[in-house]
């Protein structure tokens, strides 16, 4: 089952060239937090609205293969996001090889998130 990470398109494009993506969430790096926030498909809309509502930057969704992440030796752990719901946390940088698809993402005129 895929997991998802919402990113600024500019950050992902730069990381794809560099070979490593290290943004945990909007305004925080992997080095600050210790892991990269991710979501399951049913969680992504609520996370996007909480974290990126009003964000003027172009967004994209990284579709990630957790088996590839684990095969590279990086832990993916379901942990409480603070509300009792479990979210996947990635304990290391995202390598381009972990990404199976990059989908455009945006908010519509009513503020609903789509990807």
Task: Name the β-bridge partners of 77.
Answer: 89
Contacts of 79 (CB under 8 A, 6+ apart): 86, 87, 89
Output the pTM of the full model. Answer: 0.95
Q: Per-residue pLDDT for the chain (115 aa), expressed as one digit of tens each?
A: 899 999 999 999 999 999 999 999 999 999 999 999 999 999 999 999 999 988 899 999 999 999 999 999 999 999 998 889 999 999 999 999 999 999 999 998 888 899 9
CATH number at residue 85: 3.20.170.20
| Domain total of the chain | 1
Range of the domain at 13: 3-114
**Which alpha helices (DSSP H) does 19-104 contain, by range?**
30-33, 41-52, 66-71
| 50 three-state secondary structure | helix
Gyration radius (Cα) of the chain, Å: 13
Q: d(Cα 97, Cα 28) in Å, to the nearest integer? A: 23
CB 68 within 8 A of CB 97: yes
């Amino acid at each position: 089952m895929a997991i998802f990470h919402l990113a600024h398109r500019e950050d992902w494009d730069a990381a794809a060239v560099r070979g490593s993506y290290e943004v945990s969430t909007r305004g925080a790096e992997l080095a600050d937090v210790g892991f990269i926030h991710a979501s399951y498909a049913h969680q992504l809309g609520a996370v996007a609205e909480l974290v990126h509502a009003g964000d003027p930057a172009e967004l994209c969704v990284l579709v990630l293969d957790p088996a590839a992440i684990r095969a590279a030796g990086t832990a993916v752990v379901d942990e409480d996001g603070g509300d009792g719901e479990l979210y996947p946390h990635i304990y290391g940088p995202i390598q381009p090889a972990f990404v199976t698809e990059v989908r455009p993402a945006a908010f519509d005129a009513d503020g609903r998130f789509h990807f």
